[in-house]
Amino acid sequence: MSESAPPASGKDCCPLQGATPAERQNIFKQAVALHEQGKLREAELIYRRLLKADTNYAPAWLNLGTILRKQGKFQAAAACAEKAVGLSPDNPSFLTNYGNCLVDLDKGEEALVAHAAAARLKPDDPLIQYNHAIALREFGRFDEAIKAFDAAIALKPADVNMQWDRAITYLHMGRYKEGWDAFEIRWHQKQARQERRYAGPQWQGEDLNGKTILVYEEQGFGDTILCSRYIPLIKARGGRVVLECKKPLHRLFANIEGLDALTDTTPVAGSYDCHVPMMSLPGIFKTDETNIPKPAALTAAPDVPAAAARLLALGEGKLRVGIVWSGSLTFGRNRKRAVSLERFLPLAGIPGVQCYSLQKGPCEKDIAVQGVEELILPLGPHVDDFADTAAVLQRLDLIIMTDSSVAHLAASLGRPVWNLLDFYPYWLYLQNRVDSPWYPTMQLIRQQKPGDWDGVFERAERALRGWQ
């Protein structure tokens, strides 16, 4: 995408001074066209020029805010949206956008007021009803969210994203039958339609009678580990089971009961008789709280990597605590579920505790940035795959972390895990629970109000001090 250079002089900075309202409206339309084409920098410069000429130009405030929001500048985006609402308080489009910004900032009461006002002003707008539903769900008002999703879908029945979000809401509520059935709508979403395709029929749970079934991952490492528990159940239907998943999982999964072969590439058509995506398995096996399969028996590396073993030896005689503070940075909600490393430092300072970082990827550098290389010993750089990580986890006494794939791995191995959760976490953790029916050794320490990480870490610190 090409970008316009900023004006070179003060004289050129506000070329719209003196322009008529009609001329400004035409210029605004040009900016909107650039905005819709994804040329955000060029659109942003025009919105700013309009506002330099007229600080009461409400649509420019709103659209500048949407660009700032996309850039992750959430406080600035909310301020721009509030300017727009102040200039036009009964505009439902302004209100719903302002509500979205307030959701970003965990301001639940204000967000829901804005969204409810927008929904009242324009009850026939499916997007406004949809935004209201998302906000209700974000702040734990699930029954009301379902009603709002129903209203939005009634206005736009073919919208698969609305149906998908309603499905996720059912799962949050533990309404598994409705949730699993509705969950299959994901294959009609745009991003799913662009995914690879498989030959032959999709398995629906029937007896396999000696046929080969290809099971394949479709989401992150955590979901793949979560659903690996269904492999023995597939095998019990009488076929040959081939699992396609990323290479870092292969040693970990090598000895799962009922698994006949592993691959990291899609087998050629004709080498399997049917296929099934892993996240469809809970629905196929009609999973609810009464029949959740136990986690698969996973395989740790036979030895801890030498460099990791040396670091683990430094914690001899202490409580060895593994920590993770961030999941994948590419995950859309990571900023809600992740925290800064600094949050964990009071835990690392407790006498008799030795903290170990299991963090992988860009956030590994946070230890050096904070200057805490002795307080928190870095194991992440010394493990190559999940089997190595499993071997390390078995040498730790406790894992305290924000939600990511390591939580699934540690809990599958039966290690004690304190999973620190934001107010609206992954659907797996249901509502208001401190335990997980999916992972018996996992304890959930949840935000009691949106954005309240202080309370989460205070409770974790008290519990850790009491552990000893």
What is the average per-residue pLDDT within 340-364? 96
Closest by CA to 322, choosing from 402, 255, 385, is 402
**Distance (Å) of CA 324 to CA 417, 421, 458:** 11, 12, 17
Closest by CA to 311, choosing from 221, 378, 373, is 378
What is the average per-residue pLDDT within 73-101? 97
User: Does residue 13 carry a pLDDT above 80?
Assistant: no
Question: pLDDT band at 331, cuts 50/70/90?
Answer: confident
- Which pLDDT belongs to residue 201? 95
Lowest model confidence (mean pLDDT) among 137-151, 178-192, 352-366: 178-192
- pLDDT tens readout for residues 246-279: 999 999 999 999 999 999 999 999 999 999 999 9
Task: Quote the mean pLDDT of the chain.
Answer: 93
What is the average per-residue pLDDT within 307-334? 93
Residue 323, beta-bridge partner list: 357, 400
- pLDDT tens readout for residues 139-156: 999 999 999 999 999 999
Question: pLDDT band at 195, cuts 50/70/90?
Answer: low
What is the average per-residue pLDDT within 212-218? 96
Question: pLDDT band at 342, cuts 50/70/90?
Answer: very high
| Residues 6 or more apart in contact with residue 369 via CB below 8 angstroms | none
CA angle 120, 122, 124 (to 5 degrees): 115
- Which pLDDT belongs to residue 378? 97
List the alpha helices (DSSP H) in 194-305: 221-227, 231-235, 250-253, 281-284
Strand order in the sheet with 376-378: 376-378, 353-357, 319-324, 398-402, 417-421, 442-446
**Distance between CA atoms of 191 and 427, rounded to whole angstroms?**
20
CATH number of 212-284: 3.40.50
58, 94 Cβ separation under 8 angstroms: yes
- Which pLDDT belongs to residue 9? 28
- Which pLDDT belongs to residue 410? 98
User: Does residue 453 carry a pLDDT above 70?
Assistant: yes
> Which DSSP state fits 202?
B
Lowest model confidence (mean pLDDT) among 16-25, 113-122, 132-141: 16-25
306-467 placed in CATH 3.40.50.2000:
yes
* Alpha-carbon dihedral angle through residues 150, 154, 160, 166, given to the nearest 10 degrees: 0
User: Does residue 8 carry a pLDDT above 80?
Assistant: no
**Distance between CA atoms of 167 and 172, rounded to whole angstroms?**
9
Return the higher-pLDDT residue of 356 and 334: 356
**Distance between CA atoms of 17 and 224, rounded to whole angstroms?**
58
Q: Exposed (0-12), middle (13-18) or buried (19+): which is 317, by Cβ within 10 Å?
A: exposed
Instruction: Determine the residue type at 458.
Output: E
- Which pLDDT belongs to residue 159? 95
Altogether, the residues listed in the chain come to a count of: 468
Question: pLDDT band at 4, cuts 50/70/90?
Answer: very low
- Which pLDDT belongs to residue 6? 30
148, 99 Cβ separation under 8 angstroms: no
- Which pLDDT belongs to residue 333? 86
- Which pLDDT belongs to residue 181? 94
Instruction: Determine the residue type at 165.
Output: D
- Which pLDDT belongs to residue 341? 97
- Which pLDDT belongs to residue 11? 34
Residue boundaries of the structural domains of the chain: 10-191, 212-284, 306-467
Closest by CA to 164, choosing from 148, 180, 151, 142, is 180
Q: Exposed (0-12), middle (13-18) or buried (19+): which is 32, by Cβ within 10 Å?
A: middle
User: Does residue 7 carry a pLDDT above 70?
Assistant: no
Are 10-191 and 306-467 equal in CATH topology? no
- Which pLDDT belongs to residue 314? 97
Indicate the angle between helix axes 74-87 and 58-70, nearest 10 degrees: 160
Tell how far CA 327 is from the center of its chain: 9
- Which pLDDT belongs to residue 325? 97
**Distance (Å) of CA 406 to CA 307, 314, 384:** 20, 22, 14
What is the average per-residue pLDDT within 66-84? 97
Residue with tokens 């940035």: 369
Percentage of the chain modeled with pLDDT above 70: 95
**Distance between CA atoms of 29 and 2, rounded to whole angstroms?**
19
- Which pLDDT belongs to residue 350? 97
367, 290 Cβ separation under 8 angstroms: no
Query: Between 3.10.290.10, 2.60.120.620, 1.10.274.30, 1.25.40.10, what CATH number should domain 10-191 receive?
Result: 1.25.40.10
Question: pLDDT band at 178, cuts 50/70/90?
Answer: very high
205, 281 Cβ separation under 8 angstroms: no
Question: pLDDT band at 468, cuts 50/70/90?
Answer: low
